[in-house]
Amino acid sequence: MTPAIDTGHAPPLGPPAVPPSLPAAARARIDGDPLTQAFSERRSSHWFARRPRPVDDPAATWEAILRLPRAGKTVAYLHVPFCDTHCLFCGFYKNMARDRVSAPYTQALIRELDRDADAPAIRSGPVHAVYFGGGTPTALTAADLHAAITAARTRLPLAPDCEITIEGRVHGFDDDKVSACLEAGANRFSIGIQTFDTALRRRYGRQADRATAERFLADLKARDRAAVICDLIYGLPRQTLDTWREDVRTAIALELDGVDLYALTLVPHSPLVQAIDKGAVPPAASLGDQARLYGAGLDLLETAGWRHLSQAHWARTTRERNLYNQFVKEQASCLAFGAGAGGLLAGHRYRLDGDEAAYRERVAAGDKPLAGMFAPAPEPPAVAAVAASLESGRIAAGRLAAALGPDVTAQLDPLLDHWQAAGLLTPAPGGFALTTAGWFWQPNLISALIAAMRDRLDAGASPTLA
């Protein structure tokens, strides 16, 4: 007999009635398939976006918070806003990559790093992860990639085990660029594969075919000097369950260090949305079909023994830690550099000028090229930390009690029991674990849990976890 697990909650005797006080957004369907029918829509998990209030004078506020020592975990994000092509599904494209833009942009990026390098907010603690994102960072030349990575390593106080990620794509990422990244200190590559299927890759703007993509990843892995991760997207028009399973099986067979499985996001006004609207491309997968694809990918990876690190991320080896993404979701401080980058410092979210030419001009003038800054969110860090814990697939009663008071468990019991009855949670030591359906609908659960905790704070509860 399997021993009972004490979770701090009495298991419900059959499906309980939905408590009338439960917010509509938190109510899951009890009588359908949990994976495909639990909710009618998939909500955003961007729990930090609670109508942020802009500060009146971003430049003055920036100079003030630079004088404050940092506390807690910190990451850095460096943005490279160039791409060789505009992929059909992408909502991040800004600038066509051209040889003549690489050097001036890299020089501006380094100058921005230099500007505040000695400020207390920069020097007062280690930086645990650095992420070069885009756009496509590997659109820079080999020399400029080396210079940018070296600048981040020398201007920022990196932890000895700092994760340094370079985001890239197969096309244009030649051996010289790979060597430049490794020699400068990069120790993690995140490659945007999206799909290995040659026909789908060509339809959506990817130039390399399956064989080229597989060979590139195998060669990168064979160097054995950095973690190698690939991104896959599910829900693309014309993608089938069979082609998706083959994508995931290919990542498994390549024995990469990690893989991301991302749902297709239909970005308004993107080329893909326009093509669908015109009838040139069939509709993207329905929400139910997206759920089936996600569940199939999860089953394949877990059957192969990969570790589920977060909702969208799995690791095969201990070399893959996924630190940047984990810390960002825990509201770690984020030092941002580059046109269009966004960061978080002293509780203030900020974003930098997204116009690449204007960004370079402002940096040359000695400015921090801020485009906007927002006052700290009203809720304490405990709220974000508890919600971020769901990224590990667990809801721990002890964590909730420490954050929001000892009686929070009783208040949230109806919500958690309801999700268990809906097939989204299962009892686990210390609380609940997400089921496969719970993993797919995790953004909804985070949103509802944060709303419940905010209601509690608004009612006057005093959190004890900083």
Domain 58-329, CATH: 3.80.30.20
Instruction: For residue 215, give both structure tokens.
Output: 């060979």
Q: What is the model's pLDDT at position 466?
A: 26
Whole-number Å distance between alpha carbons of 368 and 411? 45
Instruction: For residue 138, give both structure tokens.
Output: 């590997």
pLDDT per residue over 67-86, tens digit each?
A: 999 989 999 999 999 887 65
Q: Determine what percent of the chain falls in helix, strand and coil, rounding each to the nearest 5.
A: 40, 20, 40
Q: Residue 345 — φ and ψ, nearest 5°?
A: -145, 130
pLDDT per residue over 28-60, tens digit each?
A: 999 999 999 999 999 876 544 456 799 999 999
Kindly report which listed range (8-17, 102-111, 255-264) carries the lowest average pLDDT score. Answer: 8-17
Q: What is the model's pLDDT at position 465?
A: 29
Higher pLDDT, 36 or 172: 36
Alpha-helix runs per DSSP H in 224-267? 241-253
Q: What is the model's pLDDT at position 5?
A: 32
By percentage, how much of the chain surpasses pLDDT 90? 67
Domain residue limits, the chain:
24-43+380-458, 58-329
Q: What is the model's pLDDT at position 1?
A: 30
Q: Are 370 and 118 in contact (CB under 8 A)?
A: no
Spell out a b/e string for 376-388, using b for 16 or more CB atoms within 10 Å of the CB, else e: ebebbbbbbbbbb
Determine the distance from the C-alpha atom of residue 220 to the mean position of all C-alpha atoms in its chain, rounded to a whole number: 23
The rounded mean pLDDT for the chain is 88
Q: Angle 419-424-428 (CA atoms, 0-180°, nearest 5)?
A: 90
Q: Are 396 and 434 in contact (CB under 8 A)?
A: no
- Is the previous residue joined to 135 through a cis bond, with omega within 30 degrees of 0? yes
Q: Angle 270-275-279 (CA atoms, 0-180°, nearest 5)?
A: 150
pLDDT per residue over 407-463, tens digit each?
A: 776 778 888 899 999 999 999 998 899 999 999 999 999 888 877 777 666 655 443
Q: Are 301 and 250 in contact (CB under 8 A)?
A: no
Q: Angle 194-338-257 (CA atoms, 0-180°, nearest 5)?
A: 35
Q: Are 376 and 348 in contact (CB under 8 A)?
A: yes
Query: In Å, how far are 53, 82, 209, 424, 436 from 291, measured between CA atoms?
Result: 35, 32, 27, 13, 10
Q: Answer whether residue 399 shows pLDDT above 90.
A: no
Kindly report which listed range (127-136, 353-362, 379-388, 394-403) carries the lowest average pLDDT score. Answer: 379-388
* Confidence band, pLDDT 50/70/90 cuts, at residue 91: low
pLDDT per residue over 124-171, tens digit each?
A: 999 999 999 988 999 999 999 999 999 999 999 999 999 999 999 998
For the 24-43+380-458 domain, the top CATH level (class) is mainly alpha
